[in-house]
Amino acid sequence: MTAETGAPDPHEPSAHPVTGLDEVVHQRVRLGILTIAHEARRVEFGYLRTQLDLTAGNLSKHLSVLEAAGLIEVEKGYAGRRGRTWITLTAAGSTALAEEIGRLKLLIARVETTDTLEDR
C-alpha cells in the first residue's frame, strides 16, 4: 500500500500486475496508437486512422486524451498543399508504453505458469 493514497502499490511484489495497468495507455485504441508511434519516428494521422480502422473523429478523441496526458505530441503542418497531422511519442509516452508492456508480460507469465483445469 502507498502511504499517500492507501491504494496497492503496483511495484510491491505482492500486488497483482493488473493493479499497475494504466487506464489511459491500456485502452485498445490508445495502446495501438502508442505502439505504432513507438515503431516510427513520427506517424501521420491518416496512417493511424487506416491501420486502426477508426473514424477521424474517434481517432482525434483518443489523440486528445494521449496528448493531454503528455504521452504524445501532435504537430500540424502541410505536405505540399494538403494539411497534415503528425504524431510523435514523447519520452513519457515511451516510458508509459514500456511499463504497460511489462505489466502485460507479468500477467501473461502468471497465466502460462498456472495449472490448467486438466492439471488439477
The string of pLDDT tens digits covering residues 58-95 is 999 999 999 999 999 999 998 888 889 999 999 999 99
Measuring CA to CA, which residue among 89, 82, 2, 85 is closest to residue 39?
Answer: 89
Residues 86, 77 contacting (CB under 8 angstroms): yes
Q: From 31, 36, 45, select the one nearest 74 (Cα to Cα).
A: 45
Q: What is the gyration radius of the CA atoms in the chain, in angstroms?
A: 18
Under the banding of pLDDT at 50, 70 and 90, the label for residue 2 is very low
* Total-model pTM: 0.80
**Range from 4-18, 55-69, 77-91, 97-111 that averages highest in pLDDT:** 55-69
Q: Tell me the β-bridge partners of 84.
A: 77
